[in-house]
Amino acid sequence: MTAAARAVLADCEAALAEITHGVQGSAWRRRWINAVVLLRAVGHVLENVDTQRSAAYRTAIERAWKVLQASRPSPAIFWQFIFEERNTS
């Protein structure tokens, strides 16, 4: 994974930490939405930012996406949560 996507992934990890520390009510909902949006953003950054960095990155990202598609329905966290949530809006 490249630097741009890794930055978004680090934000995902921070968002998860904020959700799991006893937050409740509307603050929890806002943080949940933030986490889902960030998870969605990782793929968009890979596709729209990192593929533009070099031909080698583009090839590696496209290859990884094909492998992920071929593995469906695994990993379930991606296909049943991130992918479905991304496509509900």
Distances (CA, A) of 85 to 5, 38, 59, 65, 78: 19, 11, 26, 18, 10
pLDDT given at position 71: 96
pLDDT given at position 89: 56
- Mean pLDDT (whole number) for 36-57: 91
Q: Is the pLDDT of residue 41 over 70?
A: yes
* Residues 12 and 35: beta-carbon distance below 8 Å: yes
pLDDT given at position 20: 79
Q: What residues have CB less than 8 Å from 73, skipping those under 6 apart?
A: 79, 80
Q: Is the pLDDT of residue 64 over 70?
A: yes
pLDDT given at position 87: 66
Q: How many domains does the chain have?
A: 1
Q: Angle at the Cα of 3 (from 63 to 60), degrees rounded to 5?
A: 10
Q: Is the pLDDT of residue 39 over 80?
A: yes
Largest Cα span, the chain: 46
